[in-house]
Amino acid sequence: MIPDAWDIELREGAIGVARHLIETGCVRYDPDHLCRHGSGLVSPVHLEGRRLFSYPAVRDEVLDFALRMIEQEIGDGELDAIAAAEGAGVPWAALIADRMELPLVFVRKEAPEGQQDYKHRIEGRVEPGWRMLLVEQIAADGHRKARFAQPLKEAGCDVRDLFVLFQYGIFDEIQEHLAPLGITMHALATWWDVLEVANRGHYLDRKAQGEIHAFLHDPKRWTAEHQGSRKSEKAA
In this structure, are residues 73 and 186 in contact, taking their beta carbons and an 8 Å threshold?
Answer: yes
Residue 47 CB partners (closer than 8 Å, separation 6+): 21, 26, 27, 28, 138, 166, 235, 236
| Rounded (5°) CA angle 6-92-148 | 100
φ, ψ for residue 195, nearest 5 deg:
-65, -40
φ, ψ for residue 229, nearest 5 deg:
-90, -15
In this structure, are residues 63 and 151 in contact, taking their beta carbons and an 8 Å threshold?
Answer: no
φ, ψ for residue 80, nearest 5 deg:
-105, -25
For residues 194 and 17, give the distance between their C-alpha atoms in angstroms, rounded to a whole number: 8
Give the residue ranges of the annotated binding site for 5-phospho-alpha-D-ribose 1-diphosphate. 108-109, 136-144
Task: Assign 3-state DSSP to the chain and report helix, strand, coil percentages, each to 5.
Answer: 45, 20, 30
- Other Cβ atoms less than 10 A from the Cβ of 95: the count is 20
